[in-house]
Amino acid sequence: MKVLFLFVLTMSFYPILGKASPESRCRITHCLCKVSGSVGRNSIPQTRSFRNIIPTENSRSDLKNTCDSKRLTVYFEHDKSSLNTNDRIDISKFIQANSFAGGFYLEGHASSSGNVSYNQLLSQRRTQTVAGKIRQSLRRPIRMKAESYGERYANNQDSSDDRKVTITPIHNFIALLDLKKTDYYLIDQSGSMQKYWSQIQDYKFHSRQVQAYLSTVNFCQNGSRINSIDAYGGTHVWYSFWNLIDQMRPGSSVTIVSDFQTPVPLNAREWSRIKAKLNSKNIKLSDVHFIQIEGAPVFHQITE
């Protein structure tokens, strides 16, 4: 019965991805190829040092922003996700001072006031607001990784210290990959990844137990070394992810590396079905990590 259930789920996703099944356009089953890579510690060159700024004075009820250890913390008013004037100034100054960064890592938080579900959504809105200001400040595509924690790390007492988003500049997307150690990795092998492919080939996984897969439409021999495979062709990364969930252990974690510029974009309904399938495998959404190469409009969607 379990096998039948998974089969029905897989077949039911076909219409979501277009009139024709992506399977017919892939030269390997489910557009998934299991690969192996090196294990060890990644060397991340730091050619320039990130800089702190002096935060602007604030006359509102939220705390004055802080900047230390090359990280900007933006504070919010109670039950608000909008930026005040001093916040917009501080974010612009910080981003401009570190405009050479390869990406930015955002962490959103909420205080313990209110219920858990509401605070989770509030922290997400705060993160999205800050991400929007970063893009506006740079006016070019930028890699961002966002985590929204709600009240997970809040004090027991309602505290203004917990209503915040932190912004950490990252030298390159390899540093973003190293932020989270996951059980599975799904890597987009399409030609649009060529610019970063040598870095992906040289990436060292944190454990020999890691299971790595390519999302590919090309022929690929399962078990191949990733450094023997080039990036070319197209991708159906969402279809690959849908099928990878079937392979994942219950309660495990995964990192997806892609520019998410697929022939058939994902919409809200399709994303809801993916989340439902993850839930059926007891895989938390917080354990699905997206590493976005360049700027793609799906960024907002996959962090909601």
User: Nearest to residue 29, comparing CAs of 177, 182, 214?
Assistant: 214
Helix (H) or strand (E) holding 243: helix 237-247
Write the pLDDT tens digit of every residue in 101-116: 878 899 999 999 989 9
- β-pair type (32-36, 254-258): unpaired
**H helices present in 98-193, as ranges:** 116-138, 173-179
Among 115-119, 207-211, 255-259, where is mean pLDDT lowest?
A: 255-259
Q: Which has more pLDDT, 9 or 74?
A: 74
Spatial CB neighbours of 82, under 8 Å, sequence gap ≥ 6: 76, 129
CB atoms within 10 A of CB 11: 10
Query: Within a 10 A sphere around the Cβ of 65, how many other Cβ atoms?
Result: 23
| Spans of all domains in the chain | 2-44+174-302, 66-171
Q: Are 213 and 29 in contact (CB under 8 A)?
A: no
Cα angle 148, 237, 248; round to 5 = 70
pLDDT of residue 7: 30
Domain 66-171 class?
A: alpha beta
Place of tokens 């089953």: 29
Strands 184-188 and 254-258: parallel
State the Cα–Cα distance between residues 215 and 32, nearest whole angstrom: 5
What counts of helices (H) and strands (E) characterise the chain?
8, 13
In tens, the pLDDT along 246-300 reads 999 999 999 999 888 777 677 788 888 999 999 999 998 878 888 877 644 444 4
Q: Nearest 5°: CA angle at 106, between 240 and 182?
A: 40
What pTM was computed for the model?
A: 0.72
Report pLDDT for 96.
93
